[in-house]
Amino acid sequence: MLTDRARIQVTAGAGGNGCLSFRREAHVPKGGPDGGDGGHGADVVLVCDDHLRDLAAFRRRTHFKAERGGHGQGALRHGASGEELAIAVPPGTVATLEDGTRIDLVVPGARAVLARGGGGGRGNKRFAGPTHQAPRFAERGLPGEETWVDLRLKLLADVGLIGVPNAGKSSLLSRLTRAKPKVADYPFTTLEPVLGTLAGDDRQLVVADIPGLIEGAHEGTGLGHDFLAHVERTRLLVHVLDLAPLDGSDPAENHATIEHELAAYDARLAGLPRILALSKADLVPPEAAAAAVAEWSERLGDDVPVLVTSSATGEGVDALARELLRRVPLSEAPPVLAEGEALAEHRVYRPAADRAFRVERTADGRWRVAGSGVDRLVARYDPENDEAMAHLERRLRGIGVIRALEAQGFEAGDDVEIGGIEFELDPSAPM
């Protein structure tokens, strides 16, 4: 069973804490600071792997957590950075993040960073200077990013067979290629896309049998909606049309229904090259088949070849194979992308840090500074360490937080909350 959808949660590794340490040597009464830095947390990365065919592996595992960075130690020993967590997905996978960003992994080896590891904290050696030679604080490591990711597989096929249920697509695929799809005399025999390989003298084409579409498929009716996405990747469509439908339906209406559903799902599909394959020719007289070819050729024009085929007798199958090999270009065309998608080999998604902040007045008259940047800054320091808090206040002043508070009417003695911690900041205090 083909698994073409999955939802996973990824958590990048947290950064290691910096070390608070001082040198201890015999006969050296006042050794200097020697705390090492913490290591960076590991990233979570999607990697396109052409050994995979679907997303079945994610039915067994949906949560992925990368390694955290090692903590710093004394004697200037830095913590090791976490090893990157690579998640393999098959070619044709589209990853959609919670913020709506979509990444297309088509080329084997393409990579996309989904969650960034937390930065490691600096040890106290980093804060030593001429005027502050023995800092008694170190930074904490930051947590890694966490997000949910929706994965959707869109098959990478050169040719897609489309048509109403029971039009003869599966039988035609089995004749064209060595694929062995399930075939029966009732609708919806094919419950998932089936791939086959059409071999030419010097090349191969991948042909996909797309499960039957019905009216309203683009809105979720029937089985077709789940598989319309697989049509997006194809470079040529073969519309398989039953010459003598067993249910007595009108072939012209069936053809119009499928074309409408494709265009309604994605207008780009209406512009893909077409071949019309009139199937089950063994069930109608030769003169009726010839009349159908003339009628459809006049209706569709010269751009759409019309061929008569029969999977039972093999009529027209070789001609269809030759036409497919002729019409699909030898050069590899760039994959068709939906609006908002980006090729992973051209764009590695790595969310940028948001450094903006805003000043708010709470209902009880207190002040709050909100923003992911200042939250990360506050999270680095121990609120029980006076030296660390003094250093943090200097950092907040340097990035303009104190100035922004003053502009809103903040005065000395007012309480302000930043990153869940309450501070008593003094705008008049010297830097």
DSSP letters spanning 334-372: PPP--TTEEETTT----PPP----EEEE-TTS-EEEE-H
Closest to 324 (Cα-Cα) out of 242, 239, 205, 163:
205
Q: What is the mean pLDDT of residues 369-391?
A: 90
Number of compact structural domains in the chain? 3
Q: Which domain holds residue 272?
A: 159-334
**Chain-wide mean pLDDT for the chain?**
83
User: Is 63 part of any domain?
Assistant: yes
Q: How confident is the model at residue 373 (pLDDT cuts 50, 70, 90)?
A: confident
Which residues, other chains included, contact 207 with Cβ-Cβ below 8 Å and sequence gap of 6+? Answer: 157, 158, 159, 160, 161, 173, 176, 177, 179, 195, 196, 197, 198, 324
Residue 22 sits in a domain of what CATH number? 2.70.210.12
Indicate if 327 and 348 belong to the same structural domain.
Answer: no
Which of 116-125, 246-255, 289-298, 307-316 is predicted with the least confidence, judged by mean pLDDT?
246-255
Indicate if 120 and 164 belong to the same structural domain.
Answer: no
Select from 277, 302, 334 the last residue of a domain: 334
At 212 the pLDDT is: 60
Residue 384 sits in a domain of what CATH number? 3.30.300.350
Instruction: Return d(Cα 234, Cα 269) in angstroms, integer.
Output: 9
Indicate if 303 and 201 belong to the same structural domain.
Answer: yes
Q: How confident is the model at residue 1 (pLDDT cuts 50, 70, 90)?
A: low
User: Is 289 part of any domain?
Assistant: yes
User: Is 36 part of any domain?
Assistant: yes
At 42 the pLDDT is: 97
User: Is 431 part of any domain?
Assistant: no
E strands along 34-177, which residues? 44-48, 63-65, 85-89, 93-97, 102-105, 111-115, 146-153, 159-162
pLDDT in tens, 138-157: 999 999 999 999 998 887 77
Residue 249 sits in a domain of what CATH number? 3.40.50.300
Indicate if 78 and 188 belong to the same structural domain.
Answer: no
Select from 325, 352, 379 the last residue of a domain: 352
Instruction: Return d(Cα 174, Cα 301) in angstroms, integer.
Output: 29
At 213 the pLDDT is: 62
Residue 267 clears pLDDT 80, i.e. is over it:
no
Indicate if 311 and 259 belong to the same structural domain.
Answer: yes
Indicate if 194 and 150 belong to the same structural domain.
Answer: no
Indicate if 347 and 364 belong to the same structural domain.
Answer: no
Question: Which SS3 state, helix, strand or coil, does residue 416 take?
Answer: strand
User: Is 430 part of any domain?
Assistant: no
Select from 304, 320, 352 the last residue of a domain: 352
Indicate if 214 and 323 belong to the same structural domain.
Answer: yes
Q: Which residues pair with 422 in a beta bridge?
A: 417
User: Is 7 part of any domain?
Assistant: yes
Indicate if 89 and 184 belong to the same structural domain.
Answer: no
Indicate if 192 and 258 belong to the same structural domain.
Answer: yes
User: Is 376 part of any domain?
Assistant: yes
Whole-prediction pTM value? 0.72
User: Is 199 part of any domain?
Assistant: yes
Which of 34-48, 170-184, 389-403 is predicted with the least confidence, judged by mean pLDDT?
170-184
Q: How confident is the model at residue 168 (pLDDT cuts 50, 70, 90)?
A: confident
Pairing outcome for strands 44-48 and 111-115? antiparallel
At position 79, the amino acid (one-letter code) is G
How many angstroms separate the Cα of 18 from the Cα of each of 129, 247, 315, 347?
17, 74, 75, 33
Q: What is the mean pLDDT of residues 237-264?
A: 86
Indicate if 366 and 223 belong to the same structural domain.
Answer: no
Instruction: Return d(Cα 258, Cα 314) in angstroms, integer.
Output: 25
Q: What is the mean pLDDT of residues 191-197?
A: 70
At 119 the pLDDT is: 95
Indicate if 209 and 298 belong to the same structural domain.
Answer: yes
Question: 114, 11 in Cβ contact below 8 A?
Answer: no
